[in-house]
Structure 1
């Protein structure tokens, strides 16, 4: 079953050990993979070879460099990607940190050299995908690359705290599963406690959003009004 999406939901995907310390040079340049082809993630999705082809052509046509971001923070660019390409393994990137001009870039460079930071994470839209009903696996066949970030804890999982923040900053609500997992990661909540918070707060906001009455700014106000169970 082939499915087409017109910029439906902005997603985040990352991979562990995508930057090796030896691939980080003293001048601030580095290489790694922002995405790997043919790997089934915890959400049952695979990025197909060639998924970025059209997006990379559009990026090249615009003639604007893609920034190196820190933890998906658009307000914290560290440098630029000088090359983005696909090979048999995945989306290969070559970046340059502005270590002489940006203090945070110098910090990131030191962390990369030490191996304390080793992950790359991409923000993207799904343009086309196919779904195998027998295996339950969705293959992402065409993606619109938005940005590539350096991340501290890559998890090959788009339900992370950074992913939830990423969506909220762009006016989107996370899914209930993403919200529950983010709560368990950010706080010492049990699975049942996180589910209770999500059910009392996020479910209400998602209903309001579907009715056209919700807005992202109302999250804190709405959750504050619920009688949550004692933790």
Structure 2
């Protein structure tokens, strides 16, 4: 799964001629200026995925920050969408009964959030020559999973989804024989350092908590107030779950991303 983002002028609420809670956005435009990944999007790239969403009867979700792991961050929904000469447009509505939905709506109306991003899978792409003689990778058919309101464009972000997308992009560059940008490599390195640092912090907290728990169990058994289960020599110790699933997910995705890149010959 990859992500794309762009700064936009969001229309939202009565001030922009819409109903309360409604918005109109362009998650992607058909500008022929390559983005930081060297991609441009062809007109028609979203036609099939738009039709598939409409035919399915399901609703394309609008998220905050690509937070697929937490239903609280499903802050909006698409009411309608389509393509025009400018790009892929979405008319949607915020979930104003959700605290986060109402908050993001206020941020968007106040022009404090003005960037949008979307998660997608590339189904068809190819090299294309631009009017200025330069070349770009043209996305010709994509499958969209969600769109997100973001404070900073995903190309500059080190969120888990962005890190995974960046690792995928580096792996694709290596496979295609393209040079890896120093900026992309540095972003991935910095993200790895943050995740490793967070994992170490959590390990220390878990170790301390486990020590306290074992001490309490020993005291209970000594006083006769607690159970004294039989322990077999070959019995494995229980696995302690991380109190922060997001960090566990981060570490897992980052490990998969770096492994995928390493298998294709990139030394990070």
Specify whether residues 23 and 182 from structure 1 end up closer, same or farther in structure 2 by C-alpha distance, changes over 3 A only: farther
Contact conserved, 1:131 with 1:137, CA < 8 A, in 2? Answer: yes
Contact conserved, 1:161 with 1:186, CA < 8 A, in 2? Answer: no
Specify whether residues 141 and 203 from structure 1 end up closer, same or farther in structure 2 by C-alpha distance, changes over 3 A only: closer
Which residue number in structure 2 is paired with residue 80 of structure 1? 77
TM-score (normalised: structure 2): 0.59
Which one is further off, 19-28 or 64-73? 19-28
**Secondary structure, counterpart of 2:148 in structure 1:** strand
* 1:160 counterpart (118, 133, 157): 157
Which residue number in structure 2 is paired with residue 126 of structure 1? 122
Which residue number in structure 1 is paired with residue 43 of structure 2? 49
> Deviation of residue 27 (structure 1)?
1.3
Q: In structure 1, how many angstroms separate the alpha carbons of the residues matched to 2:39 and 2:49?
A: 19
Could you list the runs of 5+ residues in structure 2 that have no partner in the other structure? 171-180, 195-253
Q: In structure 2, how many angstroms separate the alpha carbons of the residues matched to 1:13 and 1:208?
A: 20
| Higher normalized strand content (fraction of residues) | 1
Q: In structure 2, how many angstroms separate the alpha carbons of the residues matched to 1:60 and 1:42?
A: 31
TM-score (normalised: structure 1): 0.68
Specify whether residues 131 and 179 from structure 1 end up closer, same or farther in structure 2 by C-alpha distance, changes over 3 A only: same
**Secondary structure, counterpart of 1:148 in structure 2:** strand
Q: In structure 2, how many angstroms separate the alpha carbons of the residues matched to 1:18 and 1:169?
A: 27
Which residue number in structure 1 is paired with residue 20 of structure 2? 27
Contact conserved, 2:168 with 2:261, CA < 8 A, in 1? Answer: no
Contact conserved, 2:163 with 2:191, CA < 8 A, in 1? Answer: no
1:66 equivalent to 2:65? Answer no
| Higher normalized helix content (fraction of residues) | 2
Contact conserved, 2:76 with 2:93, CA < 8 A, in 1? Answer: yes
1:104 equivalent to 2:100? Answer yes
Contact conserved, 1:19 with 1:31, CA < 8 A, in 2? Answer: yes
Choose between structure 1 and 2 for higher RCO, CA contacts under 8 A separated by at least 6 residues.
1
Contact conserved, 1:129 with 1:139, CA < 8 A, in 2? Answer: yes
> Deviation of residue 160 (structure 1)?
2.5
Equivalent residues, number:
185
> Deviation of residue 43 (structure 1)?
2.0
> Deviation of residue 173 (structure 1)?
5.0
